[in-house]
Structure 1
Amino acid sequence: MTDKPDLISEAIEKLRARAERQGEAETGSEEKGPRLAVNAEKERLRRMEALLFAASEPLDIETLQTRLPAESDVEALLAALQEDYADRGVNLTEVGGRWRFETAPDLRGLLEEIREEPRKLSDAGLETLAIIAYHQPVTRAEIEEIRGVAVSKGTLDLLFELNWIRPRGRRRSPGRPVTYGTTNSFLQYFGLGGIADLPGQADLKAAGLLDARLPPGFEVPDPGLGGASDDEDPLDPEDDAHLFHVDFMEEDGETD
């Protein structure tokens, strides 16, 4: 008597084999998913690194977002890249709300060179710049009141030429005088993340830039308060262009 194939057993074996193949496929997919996610994150970091390295000026978050995949978490990527470069020869730093690579602070001496600056700020220029930085928004009349002497047009010319100051708006007072403030170029040149990073009174004393025995009531303004002002209107580029020219070019009474 010839044995007939057991159809039921064969069917069971086929089902078992199919289940095993399916399980192997699902396991492989689970392992592949995280690996793909990690690879995608590394690729976004590489792209951000390339963008920041090649940029001629610091980049803000909005610009980076437009250059990276839409699903990229730019702030998280910046934090990861900053941590990755923390102990390297160059660091990723934030300057005025923008990001750039710069030489690690302890290695800056390697890149120092002696060169003659084409134009240097006079004492009057430094004083004017400091007043604008700490008191902004500030008008020309207020600068002169703080300094005790008139501000020459040449001093303001040089600060504008260096792109360290800018017209901010118009004060809501008689005559509608122009107010001045600092620029991102000022922050970048002096290595500041923001105006709030300017040294305070205690820092200036510690650096020997202020006499330890100051006159009663003397205070250095808090640079962190130099933001928007309730008594200031922003400049209208079109309507105020000729008025600003008149304000800026008017004759000086006394020079520095």
Structure 2
Amino acid sequence: MTSEDGQPDLVEQSGEDLHADLAGQRMVEALLFASNEPLSLEELTLRVPEGTDVLTLLERLQKLYEPRGVNLVRLAGKWCFRTAEDLSYLMHRNVEEQRKLSRAALETLAIIAYHQPVTRAEIEEIRGVSTSKGTLDVLLETTWIRMRGRRRTPGRPVTYGTTEQFLVHFGLENVKDLPGLEELKGAGLLDSAVPASFVVPTPNDEVALTEDEDPLEDGSFFDDDAEETAGV
């Protein structure tokens, strides 16, 4: 049950418990408000009194802020305050737009998001055109992608994957929340007449390296241009 102002009904709690709950809620709210980055449940738990049920307080705050202009949301497994989606248009007038990504950069970012871990040569194979190192450098500067490791193939090419900043920027809880085939068609991003054999891969951004990847430090004297000279 909740009270008229949307606050959870705490009548059955003792005065001491009520005071502790409200104090903890204020602490969590203050930490999230002051942080420039989303905070995880673990990070919040370490910064409030021992025994505080942080998850319950987060869920309570999320419900409290649900009808407001600012919402408490969970992105990439972490919590932060964000402008309500239906009011985001108000911010466009006040926020200076970052450098607009080229079509090549957007295509490359999409391929990395869906096919990670993926090398530059593999990106080129999927796109059907060459991908300049400058395009990857621009995406690295955005902090939306990262160099993961090196593929165990001739030339030891770098593999790329997305980052937590990618999830936060695009409002995703995890990379598996990226739209699937039907959603892409519905949004007009894919031709409705795509071949029946066309498949949108299930994204996977696991931090651990795959069996065909080595750490970047192993053979780090190579650079990504080695793919071309090695015939990859």
> TM-score, structure 1 length as denominator?
0.76
Match of 1:75 among 55, 64, 67: 55
Match of 1:248 among 216, 221, 224: 224
SS in 1 for 2:149: strand
- 1:100: how far off? 0.5
Match of 1:50 among 1, 26, 30: 30
The equivalent of 1:35 in structure 2 is 15
Q: Whole-Å Cα distance in 2 between the matches of residues 202 and 168 of structure 1?
A: 30
Unaligned runs of 5+ in 1: 1-32
**After alignment, is 72-81 or 95-104 more displaced?**
72-81
- 1:240: how far off? 4.2
Q: Whole-Å Cα distance in 1 between the matches of residues 68 and 94 of structure 2?
A: 25
The equivalent of 2:107 in structure 1 is 127
1:215-234 correspondence to structure 2 within 5 Å: 215-223=195-203, 225-227=204-206, 228=208, 230-233=210-213
Q: Whole-Å Cα distance in 2 between the matches of residues 186 and 43 of structure 1?
A: 33
- 1:242: how far off? 3.6
1:195 paired to 2:175: yes
The equivalent of 1:66 in structure 2 is 46
Q: Whole-Å Cα distance in 1 between the matches of residues 16 and 120 of structure 2?
A: 59
1:98-247 correspondence to structure 2 within 5 Å: 98-113=78-93, 117=97, 119-223=99-203, 225-227=204-206, 228=208, 230-233=210-213, 235=215, 239-240=217-218, 242-243=220-221, 246-247=222-223
Q: Is the 8 A contact 1:163 1:186 kept in 2?
A: yes
- 1:105: how far off? 1.1
The equivalent of 1:90 in structure 2 is 70
Q: Whole-Å Cα distance in 2 between the matches of residues 189 and 252 of structure 1?
A: 32
Q: Whole-Å Cα distance in 2 between the matches of residues 183 and 129 of structure 1?
A: 11
Distance 1:64 1:232, change over 3 A: farther
**After alignment, is 104-113 or 202-211 more displaced?**
104-113
Q: Whole-Å Cα distance in 1 between the matches of residues 95 and 199 of structure 2?
A: 36
Answer with 1 or 2: which has the greater Rg: 1
Q: Whole-Å Cα distance in 2 between the matches of residues 136 and 161 of structure 1?
A: 18
- 1:248: how far off? 2.9
- Give deviations 1:103-145, integer Å, cap 9, x for gaps: 1111222222177645321111111100000011112221111
Question: Which residue type is aligned with residue 149 of structure 1?
Answer: V
CA RMSD, 1 decimal? 2.4
Q: Is the 8 A contact 1:169 1:232 kept in 2?
A: no
Distance 1:233 1:52, change over 3 A: same
> TM-score, structure 2 length as denominator?
0.84
